[in-house]
Amino acid sequence: MEKVTLDQFTVAGMIIKSDWKGLHYEMPKKWTLFREKLSQIINRKSDKMMDISMHYEDGIYTQCICVEVDDSFKASELEIITIPSQSYLHYLHQGEVTEIAHSFGKMIEYAKMKQIPIDHMKVDIGYTYGGNEKVHDLYIKVVE
């Protein structure tokens, strides 16, 4: 694990706001819809999709299923969000998608042990159209 700085980047995607139980119901549906729209996003910088945990407040999570796009991208059906340059704790997850939550847990424990103040914002980059990926770049925002 290492502390890194990511430059500002722009994503196009779908926002999901729900409690924990609702996320388990809504996220698979939104992933299916987003994968169907991926080929229409011609300004995407990569085919690797991401899941960004944007915010958590009062038991409600705000998630964004998205892909990085050029700053000039415009779409009426998708949310366009610019993520500012900031510091993150980074970990390269290698393994099953079902184990990503465990890897984020290891990152949180590491941050506690090293007294690195972290935020609720998490970025998970590496989802593919086929869904058979084994490597994800995981990031947790560092509070500075």
Question: What structural domains does the chain harbor?
Answer: 2-142 (3.20.80.10)
**Tokens 């984020």 -> residue:** 104
pLDDT of 72 strictly over 90: no
List all residues 6 or more positions away from 21 whose beta carbon is below 8 Å from its beta carbon.
Answer: none
pTM to 2 decimals? 0.93
Residue 90 is predicted with a pLDDT of: 98
Residue 130 is predicted with a pLDDT of: 81
Tell me the three-class secondary structure of the chain, residue by residue.
Answer: CEEEEECCEEEEEEEEEECHHHHHHHHHHHHHHHHHHHHHCCCEEEEEEEEEEEEEECCEEEEEEEEEECCCCCCCCCEEEEECCEEEEEEEEECCHHHHHHHHHHHHHHHHHCCCCEEEEEEEEEECCCCCCCEEEEEEEECC
Residue 76 is predicted with a pLDDT of: 72
Residue 81 is predicted with a pLDDT of: 93
Burial 51-61 (b: 16+ CB within 10 A, else e): bbbbeeeeeeb
Q: What percent of the chain has pLDDT over 70?
A: 100
pLDDT of 132 strictly over 90: no
Q: pLDDT of 109-128, one tens digit each?
A: 999 999 999 999 999 999 99
Q: Which residue has the higher pLDDT, 51 or 24?
A: 51
